[in-house]
Amino acid sequence: MVATHGEGVNLYDAEGRRHLDFTAGIGVTSTGHCHPKVVEAAQAQVGKLIHGQYTTIMHEPLQRLTERLGEVLPAGLNSLFFANSGSEAAEAALRLARQATGRPNMVVFQGGFHGRTVAAASLTTSGTKFKAGFSPLMPGVVVSPFPNPTHYRAYGFDEEQATDFALRELDLVLQTQSAPADTAAFLVEPVLGEGGYVPGNRRFFEGLRQRADEHGILLILDEVQTGFGRTGEFWGQDHFGVSPDIMMFAKGIASGFPISGIAASEELMAKARPGSQGGTYGANAVACAAAAATLEVIQKEGLVDNAAARGAQLRAGLERIGEQHSQVAGVTGLGLMLAVEFVDADGEPDGATSAAVQQEAARRGLLLLNNGMYGQNVRLIPALVVTEARWTRPWASGRRPWPPCSAEHIPPASPPRSSCGRPRVTRPATAVSHVTPSRRPPPPDRL
C-alpha cells in the first residue's frame, strides 16, 4: 500500500481505504500514528530550533528528554549517549565495551538482531540475509546459544533444558573460543526480535549476570525493540530482574522520529575515549521534543499497563485460533510483541505459509510482518494505544482473522506499487549527556 496518512492504529491509502496497522513501523510508533501530543510537540519545536548539534550546543528538548529518561532508566544507568538508529546504538555499545575493558571479543546469542551496519551485522545471528554479500565482517564475535524452546523442541528440550544447555554452552565458549580475559561483553536481547519473538527467562539472565560479574565482563541488553512498554513492562529486562551495565534503546522512544542511544553508569561512560562517540544528527531537537512527549503520553495514558492487558487478550485469542490449525505450533512473545509460529506436516518451520498468511492479511486490510530465523512467524506489534473493544476483539473471541493455513489456499500477492531540579546535562568530549535519575518509581506511579 501507499500510505497518505495515519491515525492511531490506522493507515489510509491513496484511495481512502483504511488499513489496520499491526506493524507500528516495526515497533516504532508506540503511541500510534500522529498522536496529537507528539504532533503538537514536534510542530512547536520546528518553529523554534530544528537542529542543534549537542556536542556543540545544548538545547531545551534534550534537557527535557534527559530529565524524563532519568525517571525511567534502570538503577545505576545515569549517563546517556544519543544517536539516530538501533544500529548506531549497537556500534556505540560495542565501542564503549571494548574501550572500557580493553578486551577485543563480544559474545552474542543465537537468533539475535542488532542492526545492518558492518559492526552491527557482525553481531547479528538471526539470518544470513542481514550479513551476506559484503564480507569480510568484523572479527572478534563469538556466538553462544539462546534458550529458545521453539528451536530446541526438535531435541526434546523444554525451556528449563534449553536454559541448562545455553548456560553450559556459554561456559564452553569461554573455555574454548573466547577467554574471559579477552571477552569485553555479552550482548543479548531480552526477547529475540527478528529471531522470532522468543523471550529469555529469569534463570538464563541470572546466569549471564553471574558469569559477567565473575569475569569482569560487561552485560549489554539490547532494548531497541523491547523498550518503552512494548512487552507489558517498561523495559523487557523488567520481566527477568536483570540489571545491565550498558543498555541500548531506540524505536518506540519517539513515536516515529529517529533517535536512539545507550545508557550506562557515569563511571563506565567516562572510560570511552574522548571524541570516540558522536554524530551530526544525534539528539536532534525535534526528535528530542517528540521523545519527551512520547514518554509523557506513555505515562499519562497508562500504555504500559495497556500493552500488558491487550497483549494477554490478543495472545489468548491467537492461541484459541491456533488450536484450529495443525500448522500453528504456538504463540510466542510478551505484551504487544507477539508472533504466531507456523510449521509444516513434519513439524519443521514453514516460512512459505507464514509469508502467505501475511500477504493475505494485507490484502484484507490487516498489516502484519514476518520474523523467525526461517521466516516461519507472523508477528503482531500494534501501537500501545490499541484498544480492547475494537482492535483485538476478533482474536480475543477466537474468530479466525486469516484463511485456512496453507500456502496453496492463498492467492499470490499483487505486485507492489512504487511511490516516489532538573538533572544535570553536560557536553563532555565523548558526546555523552549525564543525568541524575532517581530510582524508578513503582509501576502504579509511573504508569
Q: For the residues 357-368, what does the mean pLDDT come to?
A: 97
Q: What is the pLDDT of residue 311?
A: 97
Q: What is the pLDDT of residue 356?
A: 97
Q: What is the pLDDT of residue 417?
A: 32
Would you list the domain boundaries of the chain?
3-31+302-409, 38-301+423-446
Kindly indicate the confidence band of residue 436, based on its pLDDT and cuts at 50, 70 and 90.
Answer: very low
CATH 3.40.190.170 describes domain 38-301+423-446: no
The CA-CA-CA angle for residues 16, 18, 20, to 5°, reads: 160
State the burial class of residue 397 (Cβ atoms within 10 Å of its Cβ: 0-12, 13-18, 19+).
exposed
- Give tens-digit pLDDT for 39-69: 999 999 999 999 999 888 999 999 999 999 9
pLDDT surpasses 70 at 418: no
- Lowest average pLDDT, out of 83-87, 142-146, 150-154, 368-372, goes to 150-154
What cell does 174 get?
569461554
- Collect all residues with Cβ–Cβ distance below 8 Å to 47 and sequence separation of at least 6: none
CA distance 338 to 322: 13
Q: For the residues 136-142, what does the mean pLDDT come to?
A: 97
- Give tens-digit pLDDT for 203-255: 999 999 999 999 999 999 999 999 999 999 999 999 999 999 999 999 999 99
CA distance 157 to 330: 16
Q: What is the pLDDT of residue 426?
A: 32
pLDDT surpasses 90 at 74: yes
Place of cell 571524541: 275
Q: Are 185 and 150 in contact (CB under 8 A)?
A: no
- Give tens-digit pLDDT for 8-31: 999 999 999 999 999 999 999 999
CA distance 18 to 134: 39
Kindly indicate the confidence band of residue 438, based on its pLDDT and cuts at 50, 70 and 90.
Answer: very low
With CA atoms as reference, report the closest residue to 306 among 30, 44, 69.
Answer: 30
Kindly indicate the confidence band of residue 398, based on its pLDDT and cuts at 50, 70 and 90.
Answer: low
Please state whether the predicted TM-score (pTM) of the whole model is above 0.85: yes
With CA atoms as reference, report the closest residue to 404 among 351, 329, 321, 325.
Answer: 325
Kindly indicate the confidence band of residue 272, based on its pLDDT and cuts at 50, 70 and 90.
Answer: very high
Q: Are 301 and 295 in contact (CB under 8 A)?
A: no
Kindly indicate the confidence band of residue 397, based on its pLDDT and cuts at 50, 70 and 90.
Answer: low
CA distance 194 to 180: 28
pLDDT surpasses 50 at 411: no
- Lowest average pLDDT, out of 89-93, 298-302, 360-364, 431-435, goes to 431-435
Architecture of domain 3-31+302-409: Alpha-Beta Complex (3.90)
Tell me what percent of the residues of the chain surpass a pLDDT of 90. 84
With CA atoms as reference, report the closest residue to 122 among 102, 140, 99.
Answer: 140
Q: What is the pLDDT of residue 393?
A: 56
pLDDT surpasses 60 at 390: no
Q: What is the mean pLDDT of the chain?
A: 89
Strand order in 377-380's β-sheet? 328-334, 337-342, 377-380, 369-371
- If residue 20 lies in a helix (H) or strand (E), which one and from where to where? strand 18-21
Q: For the residues 414-438, what does the mean pLDDT come to?
A: 36
Q: Are 372 and 329 in contact (CB under 8 A)?
A: no
Kindly indicate the confidence band of residue 404, based on its pLDDT and cuts at 50, 70 and 90.
Answer: very low
Peptide bond before 411: cis, by omega within 30 degrees of 0? no
Amino acid at 43: Q
The CA–CA distances, whole Å, from 316 to 325, 393, 394, 397, 405 equal 15, 11, 11, 9, 19
Look at the chain and count its residues: 447
Q: Are 90 and 114 in contact (CB under 8 A)?
A: yes
Q: What is the pLDDT of residue 55?
A: 84
Q: What is the pLDDT of residue 12?
A: 98
pLDDT surpasses 50 at 424: no
Beta strands in 236-346 (DSSP E): 246-249, 260-264, 328-334, 337-342
Q: What is the pLDDT of residue 396?
A: 56
Tell me what percent of the residues of the chain surpass a pLDDT of 70. 87
Q: What is the pLDDT of residue 401?
A: 53
